[in-house]
Amino acid sequence: MKSLLGANTDTALADLASTELPILSVSGPPGPSNNFGSGTTALQIYLHRPVLGVRLTTGEHTDAEGGTTDPLAELFCGTPQPGNTSPLRELTVRWAGQYFSGATDYLTGTTAPTPAGFQILAGT
């Protein structure tokens, strides 16, 4: 989520844009818990890469946390949806494996996002 104060996210992403660091996002649907997607918008503006990650088209802000979320987060941000948490876990574990194997195409072998209601986040 992008900070409500200052431009720290924009500054950091602008500085990271020229690096080769793998930066992949799991974003929830825009809503109050993520400042209506402002962090995802900043990623798309400042990181000029073909793929930036995925955005859930439905679900809760806590879906990326899955079973590790807490009651306070569930109270304010919703209960994680199993239909999103399992595919997210599979996808992010795959991304980590691809990173450590030296792969740079993080969409290779990705079949989970479409059925689970994910949108591929494209950069510019």
The string of pLDDT tens digits covering residues 10-64 is 999 999 999 988 888 998 888 888 888 888 999 999 998 888 888 888 888 889 8
Distances from the Cα of 72 to the Cα of 10, 77, 78, 80, 93, angstroms: 28, 8, 9, 12, 26
Concatenate the DSSP letters of all residues of 33-68 into one string. Answer: GGGGGHHHHHHHHH---SEEEEEESSS-GGGGTGGG
pTM metric for this prediction? 0.79
Using the CB atoms, write b or e for 86-121: b if 16+ within 10 Å: ebbeebeebbeebeeeeeeebeeebebbeebbbeeb
Residues 6+ apart with CB under 8 A from 87: 112, 113, 115, 116, 118
Q: How confident is the model at residue 3 (pLDDT cuts 50, 70, 90)?
A: low
Strand 25-27, strand 51-56: pairing:
parallel
* pLDDT at 112 (0 to 100): 45
Average pLDDT for residues 83-102, to the nearest whole number?
Answer: 88
Residue 110 has pLDDT above 70, yes or no: no
The mean pLDDT value for 95-109 works out to: 81
Please state which of the ranges 39-43, 58-62, 80-84, 115-119 shows the lowest mean pLDDT: 115-119
**pLDDT value, residue 71:** 94
Domain ranges across the chain: 8-122
